[in-house]
Structure 1
Amino acid sequence: MNWLLPRLAAGVLAMLAGGFLGFIASNVEHTVVWRVLAGGGIGVAIAAMLDTARGYRLINWLRGSQEQQAPRDAGFWGELGYRVERSIRLREQGLAQERLRLEQFLSAIEASPNGVLMLDQNDQIVWCNSVSADHFGLDPQRDRRQRITNLVRSPAFVAYLQQADYPETVNFPNPRGDGTLSVLLRPYGDGMKLVLSQDITDRERNEAMRRDFVANVSHEMRTPLTVLAGFIETMDNLPLTEVERKRVLELMGQQTRRMQTIVSDLLTLAQLEGSPRPAADRWVALAPLLVQVEADARALSGGRHEVSVAAVGSVELAGAQSELLSAINNLVSNAVRYTPAGGRIDVSWCVLEDGSGELVVSDTGVGIAREHIPRLTERFYRVDGSRSRDTGGTGLGLSIVKHVVQRHGAELDIQSEPGKGSRFRLIFPAARLRGAAA
C-alpha cells in the first residue's frame, strides 16, 4: 500500500495547483470561486490524463508477449506492473521446470530397454518410445492419435486389449514376423492404458536351446549307459568264454571312453563360456601346434588317409595355446572321421591382403549339404546321427571351435558340397598375428 499516499498527495497537489492558477488568472471578484474550481478541475484532469497514460502503457505491455520489461512508472501503475511481471516470470519458471522434468521423464522412458506405449480412453496412441515403435512397427509421430487396433492386428493382442482386466502378459509374434513380443497392459488415469512390451525372441531361443541341450545330453549319455548296463547284466548272468569276455570288456571300454569324451567336451565348453577372453599379449608359435595336430591326425587315421600339413615358418598367434590346439584338432579330427579311406586331408596357412591370417583345413570327404551348414556349430547337431556315432563324434567339436574362434576375435567360414569334401577356414585378425609370412 506504499503507493496509496503518494497517489492521494499527487491528486490533492494537482487540485490545489489548478485552483491557485485559476485564482491568479481571475480579474473579476465575483468569478474568483468559479475560476478556482475550474483551475482545480483542470489540475485533476491533467493528473488523470497522466495516470491514464501510465495505465495505457501497462495495458499495451500486457497485450504483448511480456518478453520485455514492464513499464517502470512511479506510484500505483509502476507497483502493479512490477507485481504482474513478477507473477508472470514466476509462472514461466514453474512451467520451464515442469517442462524440463517432463523431458527428463520422457528421456528416461526412451532409454528403457522395454517398449512403452500410452493409449487414451479410445485406445488411440498418445505417445510411444522408439523401442515400442520398433516392436509394433509404428511411427512415433505419424501414428499419433491413431487407434492401435488399426495398426496392430494380431488377434491375440486385440483380444487382450478388449479384456476387462489384465492379470498376465500375452505373447504373440511381432508385426514384422521375425520374433516374439511379450506385452503387459496396465490401466491408469481416467480410462487410459499403459502398454509395456518386451522382445523375448532371444529368451525363447535360449530356452529352446537349453531344452534341446538337456535332451541331447540325456540321449547321448543314455546310449552308452544302456550298453554298459546290458553288458554288465550279460557278464553277470551268462557264462562267457575268454574270447567273449574280452570282446564284451572291449565294447564296455569303448562306451566308457565315449562318455568320458562327452563329459570332457562339455567341461571344455563350460570353461570357454565362463572364463575371460585370452590375453592379446601372450604369443603362441603356430608351427609346434601344427606338428602336434599332424601327429594326432596320423594316429587317428592309422594310415588310411594322406595327411599334409604345410610349413608356417615363425608365425605366432596371440591367445591361449590349449584353446587353439583344441580348435584345430577338432577340425582335423572331423576331417579324418568323415573322409573315406584313401582320401586326403590338407592343413595350410596363408596371409591375406589385409594382414589377417587364414588357417585352412580341407578334406575330400563326404561333404555337407548347404542347408546343414548354418547349424553345424550348434551343440549336438548332427547331419547324420548314426554315422557320427559310428565314427566316434560327440556333436560338440564344432561348437568348441566356434567358441574358441570368437574368443580370439577370429572368424569361422565353412564351405562344403556333398561328394566334394569340406573346407573350414579360421581367419585371425592382423592384430593377433606377428612374424607372418606369406
Structure 2
Amino acid sequence: MAWFLPRLLASFLALTLGGALGVLAGALLRSPAIGAVVGAGSAVGMVVLRDALHAGRLMRWLRDGQNGDAPRDAGLWGELGYRIERALRQREQALAVEHQRLAEFLSAIEASPNGVLLLDADDHIAWCSAVAADHLDLDAQRDLRQPVTNLVRMPAFVAYLQDGAWREPITLAAPGGRGTLQVVVRGYGDRQKLVITQDVTERLRAESMRRDFVANVSHEIRTPLTVLAGFVETMASLPLSGAERGRVITLMQQQTDRMQVLVADLLQLAQLEGSPRPPADRWTPLGPLLQRAADDARRLSAGRHLVAVDAPEGIDLAGLDTELLSAVANLATNAVRYTPAEGQIHIGWRQRPDGQGEIEVRDTGIGIAREHLPRLTERFYRVDGSRSRDTGGTGLGLSIVKHVVQRHGGSLEIDSEPGKGSRFRLLLPAGRVRQAAAVPQTGETAGTA
C-alpha cells in the first residue's frame, strides 16, 4: 500500500491546482465558478489519461505473452505490474516443477518391465508406455486419444475391460502370437482406468518345465522301482534255480545302477545351479582333459567305434576341471550312444580369430531333426525316449553341458542332420583361454578301444 498515500496526495494536488487555475481563468471571463469546475474536471481528466496510458502498457505486456519485464511505472501501476509479473513467474516455476515431476514419474513407469496404459472415462488412451505399446501392438504417440477397444480387438480383453469388476487378472495370447500376457485393470479418479500388462511367457514356460521336471523325475524313478519290486516279489514267492536267481540279481543291479546314475545327475545339476561361478584364475591343461573324455567314450564304446582326439599341447582353460571334463565327457559318451557300430567320433579344439576357444565333439551318428534342436538341452527331453533308455541315458546330460558352459561364460552350439551325424561345440570366452609354456608336440593322438 506504499503507493496509496502518494497517489492520494497527487490526485488532491492535481484537483486543487486545476480548480485554482479554473477560478483564475473564470475570473477573467467573469465566471469563476464555471472556471473552477472546468479546471477541476481537466485535472481529473489528466489523471485518468495518465492512468489509461499506464494501463495500456501493462495490457500490451500481458497480451504479448509477458516477454521481458513488466512496465516499471511509478505508483499504483508499477506496483500492480510488479505483483502480476511475480505471480506469473511463480506460477511458471511451479508448473515447471510439476512438469519435471510428471516427466520423472512417467520415466519411472517407462523403466518398469510391465506395460502401463492410462484410459479416460470413455476408454480413450490418455497415455501409453513403450512396453504396453509393444505388448498390445500399439503406437504410443499415434494412438493417443483413440478408443482402446478399436485398437485392441481381442474379445477377451474387451469383455474384461467392460466388465467393471476386475477382481482377477486375465491371461491372453499376445497379438501376433508373440507370447502370453497377463492384464490387470484398476479404476481411479473420475471413471478413469489403469491397465497394467505383463509378459508372463517365460514364467508360464518355467512353471510348465517345473511340472514336467517333477513328472519326469517321478516317472524315471518309479520305473526301476517297479521293476525292482517285481523282482523282489518273484524271488520271495517262487523257487528259483541258482542260474535264475543270478540273472534276476543282475537285472536288479542294472536297475539300481540306473537310479544311481539318475540321482547323481540330479545332484550335479543342483550343484551347478547353486554354486558360485568358477574362478577365472584357476587354469587347467586342455590336452589331458580331452584325453580323459576320449577314454570315457572308448570304455563305453568297447571297441565298436573309432574314437579320435586332437589334444593340443600348450593350451590352458580357466575354470573347474571337473565341470569341464563332465561337459566334454557327456558329449563324447552321447556320441557313442547315438552312433552305430563302426561309426567315427572326433574330439577336437580350435581357437577362433576373436580369441574364443572351441571344443568340438563330432560324430557320424543318426543325427537329429532340426525341430528338436532348440529343446535338446531341456531336462529329460528326448528325441526318442525308448532309444535313450535303452542306451543308458538319463535325459540330463545336455542340460548339464549347457549349465557348465554357461557358468564358464560360454555357450553351446549344435548342428545336426538326420543320417549324417552331429556337431556339438563348446564355446569359451577369450578370457578363459591362454597359451601355456611351449611343450614339444608328440604327434596326433588317435585310437580305438
Pairwise same-fold verdict (TM > 0.5): yes
Q: Quote the sequence identity (%).
A: 63
For residues 305-344 of structure 1, the aligned pairs below 5 Å read 305-344=305-344
For residues 228-307 of structure 1, the aligned pairs below 5 Å read 228-307=228-307
- Does the 8 Å CA contact 2:181/2:197 hold for their aligned counterparts? yes
How far is 1:59 from its partner? 2.2
Equivalent-residue separation in structure 2 for 1:350 and 1:2 (angstroms):
91
3-state SS of paired residue (2:223) = helix
- Does the 8 Å CA contact 2:288/2:311 hold for their aligned counterparts? no
Deviations along 1:315-373, whole A, 9 cap, x unmatched? 11111111100000101111122222222221111222332222111122222222222
3-state SS of paired residue (1:416) = strand
Output the amino acid matched with 1:363: D
Deviations along 1:386-436, whole A, 9 cap, x unmatched? 111111110110111111111122222222222222221222222211117
- The equivalent residue for 2:364 is 364
Equivalent-residue separation in structure 2 for 1:62 and 1:418 (angstroms):
82
Equivalent-residue separation in structure 2 for 1:183 and 1:241 (angstroms):
68
How far is 1:27 from its partner? 8.3
How far is 1:82 from its partner? 2.1
How far is 1:46 from its partner? 3.1
> For the structure 1 residues 66 and 311, does the alpha-carbon distance in structure 2 shift closer, same or farther, using more than 3 Å as the test?
same
Output the amino acid matched with 2:213: F
> For the structure 1 residues 369 and 11, does the alpha-carbon distance in structure 2 shift closer, same or farther, using more than 3 Å as the test?
closer
Whether 1:140 and 2:140 are equivalent positions in the alignment is: yes
- The equivalent residue for 2:446 is none
- The equivalent residue for 2:122 is 122
3-state SS of paired residue (1:166) = coil
Equivalent-residue separation in structure 2 for 1:77 and 1:3 (angstroms):
9
Deviations along 1:8-57, whole A, 9 cap, x unmatched? 21122223334555677788594666656655544443333323322222
Deviations along 1:113-143, whole A, 9 cap, x unmatched? 2111122222221211111111100001111
- Does the 8 Å CA contact 2:286/2:311 hold for their aligned counterparts? no
What is the TM-score when the length of structure 2 is the normalising length? 0.91
Deviations along 1:116-174, whole A, 9 cap, x unmatched? 11222222212111111111000011111222122111121122122142211111101
Deviations along 1:274-304, whole A, 9 cap, x unmatched? 2222122221111121222222222222222
Equivalent-residue separation in structure 2 for 1:82 and 1:429 (angstroms):
69
What is the TM-score when the length of structure 1 is the normalising length? 0.93
3-state SS of paired residue (1:95) = helix
Equivalent-residue separation in structure 2 for 1:207 and 1:345 (angstroms):
37
Equivalent-residue separation in structure 2 for 1:18 and 1:149 (angstroms):
76
Unaligned runs of 5+ in 2: 442-449
> For the structure 1 residues 118 and 77, does the alpha-carbon distance in structure 2 shift closer, same or farther, using more than 3 Å as the test?
same
How far is 1:307 from its partner? 1.6
Number of aligned residues? 438
Output the amino acid matched with 1:381: Y
3-state SS of paired residue (2:415) = strand
3-state SS of paired residue (2:175) = coil
Structure 1 window deviating more from structure 2 (25-34 vs 356-365): it is: 25-34
Equivalent-residue separation in structure 1 for 2:41 and 2:153 (angstroms):
81
> For the structure 1 residues 256 and 6, does the alpha-carbon distance in structure 2 shift closer, same or farther, using more than 3 Å as the test?
same
Structure 1 window deviating more from structure 2 (368-377 vs 318-327): it is: 368-377
- The equivalent residue for 1:195 is 195
Output the amino acid matched with 2:51: D
Output the amino acid matched with 1:400: I
Cα RMSD (Å) of the superposition? 2.2
Output the amino acid matched with 2:363: D
- The equivalent residue for 1:67 is 67
> For the structure 1 residues 167 and 31, does the alpha-carbon distance in structure 2 shift closer, same or farther, using more than 3 Å as the test?
closer
> For the structure 1 residues 303 and 68, does the alpha-carbon distance in structure 2 shift closer, same or farther, using more than 3 Å as the test?
same
Whether 1:403 and 2:432 are equivalent positions in the alignment is: no
Equivalent-residue separation in structure 2 for 1:29 and 1:389 (angstroms):
135
- Does the 8 Å CA contact 2:115/2:130 hold for their aligned counterparts? yes
Equivalent-residue separation in structure 2 for 1:251 and 1:126 (angstroms):
71
Output the amino acid matched with 2:389: R
Whether 1:424 and 2:424 are equivalent positions in the alignment is: yes
